[in-house]
Structure 1
Amino acid sequence: MKGHIRERSPGRWAIVLDIYDETGKRRRKWHSFAGTKRQAQEECARLIAEMRGGTYVEPSKVTIAKHLETWLDHMKSQVTPRTHERYSEIARKNIVPLIGSVPLTKLRPVQISDAYAKALASGRRDGKGGLAPSTIIYMHRIIKQALAQAVKWGMLVRNPADAVKPPKAERAGLKTLDMPQTAALIEGLRGSRMLIPAMLAVLCGLRRGEIVALRWRHVDLEAGVLSIVESAEQTREGVRYKAPKSGKGRTVALSATVREELRQHRLRQAEELLSFGIRQDEATFVYAQEDGSPLQPRTLTHAWAKAIAKTDLPRIRFHDLRHAHATHLLQSGVHPKVASERLGHSRVGVTLDIYSHVLPGMQEDAASRVDEALQLALRKRPAEGIR
């Protein structure tokens, strides 16, 4: 296998590789290169070494934009519809404008790094500044996955995104309600349709999608438990019901307060449905429209925004009620493993990572309890000490 370079213009080179097939017939592959003569010679030698080692990938006219579309089609069966929508939005609106025209085989780490820097400085589509670091991290995740697939498909020898680090994103502090504020919230929502979903979030830790998917067949008021077996997901095509976020169901114990509120709510809902000529049954949604029709997750979000605006409480998101429940559990001394199971986290490490702000106070309390136990044991020991 041979190769040589030709100067096309100052600083611009053509690297010509001679490839021979099984019959001995010669074909030539041309690579464009920008740099010094020495650099062009080194690139030529590198390509020849790849040819001899069997890792050479012929130049392709496939661009990053084209490859991303192929990859998105491939991912349709790999992720949920909502996740696929998010992938498509980030790829088409944020990544393609920056590097979409670059040929796949010519993409280099420095180009990816430069794209991130540009996105941070002026990546917003409305022209009003740059994208948040968290969005750049999402972009990096998509680019890395798409290029990794190109490697698996034999379109690339290595993944250039592996040599790039996205910017760091500082985790925003969680906004929650303390116990007095939680009590004020519940009292303030009495008589409102928002009472039950708010209580399921702040006292049971349910997610928005889990609340709007909850049916009466999932609730056992006698045993005081409810089962989380599905969640509602909002997509452009409408609402679909799927397994909970962790991929498996869970059982959540109900406090006496929640049990009584649900009991009263079920009676009120049954009467309301009868006014529409509808009979309540086990398939009826716990939180639904007046006629029993299911609600969209975003409808709950809008209803919450209106409800919280009428109070003197902090303007937190509906999802922050779930954070409040987790904080209440940990501050009350509930074991993180139990809290993790109640919240439906895939592992206890997720719980400890998200709610690490609660741990310092818990550690002080734990140290104090250990010290009290030690002092009590010392006082009970005989005066003569250890023999």
Structure 2
Amino acid sequence: MKPYKACSCRDPQTKRLLGKKCPDLGKKGHGGWYARYEAPPSAEGKRRQPRIGPFDTERECKVELGKVLGTAASPKAHDERKTTLGEYLERRYAWRKSEAETGEGLAKSTLDAERETIDLYGKPGLGHIKVVDLTDEHFRELYAAMRKINRPEEQGDRSEILRRLKDARATREGKRVHSRPIGESRIRRVHAVLHGALTDASKLSKIRPDNPCDGVWRSKGGKRKQGRAKPLLWAVERVEQWEKTGVVPAKVMVWTAPQTGNFLDFAEASAERLYPALHLTAYFGPRRSELVGAEDQHLSLERGWLHVLQAQADDELDDTKTEAGWRQIPLDDETIRVHKVWHKRRLEERLAWGEAYQDSGRVYVYEDGSELKPEYLSSRFRILIERYGNIRAKAKEGWAVERIARKFRTTEAAVEVALRMVLPPIRFHDLRHGAATMLLAAGVDDKFVSEVLGHASVAFTKDVYAVVAEEMAADAVRRISAFIPRQSRLSAVSAITVPSGG
């Protein structure tokens, strides 16, 4: 098994290969390095001694020999030394699809996501490379190329791997796949598929002794892991400070019940088309991806519930974020009323669009019936918050209600709602946090709140929201106490501030 040097020169008389006996092997650059090793016997029981090479240096030959000897005990490893990653991904996908057809395997949405990973990233990026030759650098290069797609860096990069990825994404059913930049969450999902495939190649198929994907994702060294950001309530004092400085006190902020109600009144008075989605989020806190993924067949206004069975975080439909996310949300009378109005509006839009209408089967859709992009919901929310603040700014300048309504192309009723109170900024996802907080502050059972929100455990719900729920309850009590005048309180104050005669 010791490496040796040989060449392809032939004896001028016998025409036989000289191999290791060539007199010119001592010359620089002549010949190459080879090695033989003992492989498992063939099916007929015959001895096998495969040869590897040629290599430019003895060191390269020894390195490759070490890799080969790591799988020498497995006949399958030798039979599949030429298997490429693309071939193995297809074979593995066929296994998993067959399992799913029996009802014991993966969900269809998960298989569809894996199919997309294979077609858009796995095969175009690394599919031509043999499984035994893959290293962690191959995967780092793939993910680096993915981060450049649909970004300015894409234009100046002429690497082959990026070209293949762009070609694979060029068209699917006549349109470019995913016109937005690829986020880290998607790259991690692609990595999960590839890591799983290489784990199977190592542990099940025995093609190689290790998984080259291991260690590709590393934690940030030297930095202490940050805990989950817990929400803070937009109490009166914090709102006043924000108005003075413009500084938001925490990453996750939650509106009080009056603030939430005022925003919903504003959105409804503004005739915001997607008000029903905002209403449902503020009341019961479904995730944005769950709203976009909700289908008509999962919503029953007669029985008053919405089944959350799937989600669409990016451009493809998938399972909910966690197993606990698969749940049923009960709907109150007001939410049912809002969605009956929404259903009527959608029917009117269907008639207006006629044959051009695209029936996606989703609850929340664009006017033509096509499925929403998740970011569109957030953008509509941001537009409403910005308009709310601009209305108040114009009112401070002395503008009349009618003039403000014309300026922002909204209703006078919406302007009057915006003038009721200050509305500090939050993110769309913070509506979910607000729903959890208000449910707890209203005294709803912790387990029910956890189930409605789709949390993994009641302990998680209490850990994240208990403090801010208590703060909301205390804030409500203080507001009530300050709002209701009491003669006994005034008498007590007088007794303290006015000195007695004598």
Which of 282, 289, 295 is equivalent to 1:202?
Answer: 282
SS in 2 for 1:15: strand
Q: Which amino acid aligns with 1:228?
A: H
Matches within 5 A, 1:227-306: 228=307, 230-231=309-310, 246=323, 250-254=327-331, 258-263=332-337, 266=340, 297-298=371-372, 302=376, 305-306=379-380
Name the larger-Rg structure.
2
Alignment partners' CA distance in 2, 1:45 and 1:102: 19
- Quote the residue 2:500 is aligned against: none
Give me the TM-score of the superposition, normalised by structure 2: 0.51
Deviation by residue 1:39-98 (Cα, 9 ceiling, x = unmatched): 7457647755754x5577115222123322333444443444444444344444444455
- Quote the residue 1:17 is aligned against: 37
Matches within 5 A, 1:150-169: 150-161=201-212, 163-168=214-219
Q: Deviation at 1:143?
A: 1.7
SS in 1 for 2:34: strand
Verify: 1:345 aligned to 2:369, yes or no.
no
Which of 26, 49, 62 is equivalent to 2:83?
Answer: 62
Alignment partners' CA distance in 2, 1:68 and 1:214: 37
Q: Deviation at 1:199?
A: 1.7
Which of 300, 307, 329 is equivalent to 1:215?
Answer: 300
Q: Which amino acid aligns with 1:326?
A: A
Shift in CA distance, 235/133, structure 1 to aligned 2, threshold 3 Å: closer
Alignment partners' CA distance in 2, 1:300 and 1:118: 26
Which of 125, 129, 137 is equivalent to 1:102?
Answer: 129
- Quote the residue 1:148 is aligned against: 199
Shift in CA distance, 328/90, structure 1 to aligned 2, threshold 3 Å: farther
- Quote the residue 2:24 is aligned against: none
Shift in CA distance, 34/217, structure 1 to aligned 2, threshold 3 Å: farther
Q: Which has the higher strand share?
A: 1
Which of 186, 190, 200 is equivalent to 2:264?
Answer: 186
Give me the TM-score of the superposition, normalised by structure 1: 0.63
SS in 2 for 1:190: helix
Shift in CA distance, 92/346, structure 1 to aligned 2, threshold 3 Å: same
SS in 2 for 1:7: strand
Shift in CA distance, 275/360, structure 1 to aligned 2, threshold 3 Å: closer
State the identity %.
19
Alignment partners' CA distance in 2, 1:144 and 1:74: 17
Alignment partners' CA distance in 2, 1:289 and 1:158: 49
Q: Deviation at 1:117?
A: 5.8
Q: Which amino acid aligns with 1:15?
A: A
Which of 114, 124, 139 is equivalent to 2:190?
Answer: 139
- Cα RMSD (Å) of the superposition? 5.1
Alignment partners' CA distance in 2, 1:85 and 1:286: 19
Verify the 8 A CA contact 2:4 2:34 in the aligned structure 1: yes
Shift in CA distance, 263/298, structure 1 to aligned 2, threshold 3 Å: closer
Shift in CA distance, 251/104, structure 1 to aligned 2, threshold 3 Å: closer
Alignment partners' CA distance in 1, 2:452 and 2:200: 36
Alignment partners' CA distance in 1, 2:44 and 2:91: 34
SS in 2 for 1:228: strand
The number of aligned residues is 335
- Contiguous gaps of at least 5 residues in structure 1: 220-225, 278-284, 366-387
Alignment partners' CA distance in 2, 1:42 and 1:330: 62
Q: Deviation at 1:15?
A: 2.8
Q: Deviation at 1:100?
A: 3.1
Shift in CA distance, 12/361, structure 1 to aligned 2, threshold 3 Å: farther
Q: Which amino acid aligns with 2:307?
A: I
Verify the 8 A CA contact 2:299 2:307 in the aligned structure 1: yes
